[in-house]
Amino acid sequence: MHPFWNTVVKIFPTWLAPNLITFCGFLLLVFNFFLMAYFDPDFYASAPDHAHVPNRIWIMVGLLNFMAYTLDGVDGKQARRTNSSTPLGELFDHGLDSWACMYFVVTVYSTFGRGSTGVSVFVLYLLLWVVLFSFILSHWEKYNTGILFLPWGYDISQMTISIVYIVTAIVGVEAWHAPFLFNFLYRDLFTTMILGCALTVTLPMSVYNFYKAYKGNTLKHHSLYEIMLPFLSPVLLFALCTTWIFLSPSDILEVHPRLFYFMVGTAFANISCQLIVCQMSNTRCQPLNWMLLPLAVVVFVVICGLAPHNETVLLYTLTAVITVAHIHYGVCVVNQLSKHFNIRPFSLKKRSTD
């Protein structure tokens, strides 16, 4: 896609800040997420005998997804083109990418949805975690080796997702219900692609790059504890959320799947952002993210039956707290970096020193 991005970047004026391009691309994914939440709140719209998402919406989502992917690829080229590359730009790009993982995975789920022809909300929960761990694996690699490997599987997945949206608008969601090879359904292809990219591209390349750094004696950390420390908070987040799902008295994931995915993805994004800050500043990764504490409290309250009729209220409250806290964290970090480098995050002009 680099030749295409090299052409597209020439369209943008040289006064346009790369961070603004990054942010606009991210907002397109957020818009897609809430647009599909309106037309398909419970992921049943693609199931037989349910009102389907209008074809024009699929076209819009497909085009916006491609635009978001293009902007994500162009922002770095704009930074080099305007000689405005900064650590803030790197943090802004990868920090928003950590949150974007949830948005595009959950949005594409609506093409298949749940029901007899789709996948269950729990399977999608597991697939979301495959994508999240794939993302943090790359940053774990940089935390230990100093080099960030971005697998080309991401490019393939984004192009495929955009095409799937457009094709859905043309042939209808019913086309995904029929098997395309023997009894192998398109939903199975969707699952296989996510698992395949993680197991055949991301994981092997990260392990190989880590091994090369180990053999070359260039690892930043040498004890097993320090090496694996970035995985502690994500694993605990997964354990707590999965425990909640299995022991939920109201079957919370079945009742509020989209909200639960949003809560998980936002908490994960905060964990990832803090890891990115640590790897950029060559500081030690913190063992535990504070967001795990309110989550642990909520899970404890739920499984102990202390609020049997308020589980939904707890999920909404927890999601609001985590979302506000993550946005606050991002704003604070951006402001601090902007002051440190005397720059404006969304402008190529220097900050005023008054």
User: What does the pLDDT read at residue 261?
Assistant: 96
Summarised one tens digit per residue, pLDDT across range 212-228 is: 888 888 888 888 998 99
User: What does the pLDDT read at residue 351?
Assistant: 59
Residue 150 has pLDDT above 70, yes or no: no
Average pLDDT (278-306) is 90
Q: Which of 108, 133, 99, 124 is nearest to 262 (CA)?
A: 99
User: What does the pLDDT read at residue 154?
Assistant: 65
pLDDT category of residue 125 using cuts at 50, 70 and 90:
very high
Q: How far apart are CA 180 and CA 51, in angstroms?
A: 24
Distances (CA, A) of 240 to 166, 245, 293, 296: 37, 9, 10, 7
Q: How far apart are CA 39 and CA 245, in angstroms?
A: 25
Residue 51 has pLDDT above 90, yes or no: no
Contact by Cβ (8 Å): 159, 197: no
Q: How far apart are CA 54 and CA 57, in angstroms?
A: 5
Residue 157 has pLDDT above 80, yes or no: no
18-39 and 87-108 are packed helices; what angle lies between their axes, rounded to 10 degrees? 20
Residue 270 has pLDDT above 90, yes or no: yes
User: What does the pLDDT read at residue 171?
Assistant: 83
Residue 152 has pLDDT above 70, yes or no: no
Q: State what percent of residues in the chain have pLDDT above 70.
A: 96
338 or 59, which is more confident: 59
User: What does the pLDDT read at residue 350?
Assistant: 63
Non-local CB neighbours of 145 within 8 Å, separated by 6+ positions: 209, 210, 212, 213, 218, 219, 220
**Mean of the per-residue pLDDT values for the chain?**
87
Average pLDDT (256-264) is 96
- 3-class SS letters over the chain: CHHHHHHHHHHCCCCCCHHHHHHHHHHHHHHHHHHHHHHCCCCCCCCCCCCCCCHHHHHHHHHHHHHHHHHHHHHHHHHHHCCCCCHHHHHHHHHHHHHHHHHHHHHHHHHCCCCCCCCCHHHHHHHHHHHHHHHHHHHHHHHHHCCCCCCCHHHHHHHHHHHHHHHHHHHCHHHHCCCCECCECHHHHHHHHHHHHHHHHHHHHHHHHHHHHHHCCCCCCCCHHHHHHHHHHHHHHHHHHHHHHHHCCCCHHHHCHHHHHHHHHHHHHHHHHHHHHHHHHCCCCCCCCCCHHHHHHHHHHHHCCCCCCCHHHHHHHHHHHHHHHHHHHHHHHHHHHHHHHCEECCEEEECCCC
Q: How far apart are CA 76 and CA 5, in angstroms?
A: 10
Burial of 274 (0-12, 13-18, 19+ CB in 10 A): buried
Least confident segment among 79-88, 119-128, 297-306: 79-88
User: What does the pLDDT read at residue 352?
Assistant: 57
User: What does the pLDDT read at residue 76?
Assistant: 83
250 or 341, which is more confident: 250
Least confident segment among 56-65, 87-96, 175-184, 224-233: 175-184
Average pLDDT (164-192) is 79
Query: What's this model's pTM, rounded to 2 decimal places?
Result: 0.92
Distances (CA, A) of 41 to 106, 130, 177, 221, 246: 11, 23, 20, 45, 22
Summarised one tens digit per residue, pLDDT across range 13-50 is: 888 888 888 899 999 999 999 999 999 999 988 887 78
87-108 and 55-81 are packed helices; what angle lies between their axes, rounded to 10 degrees? 170
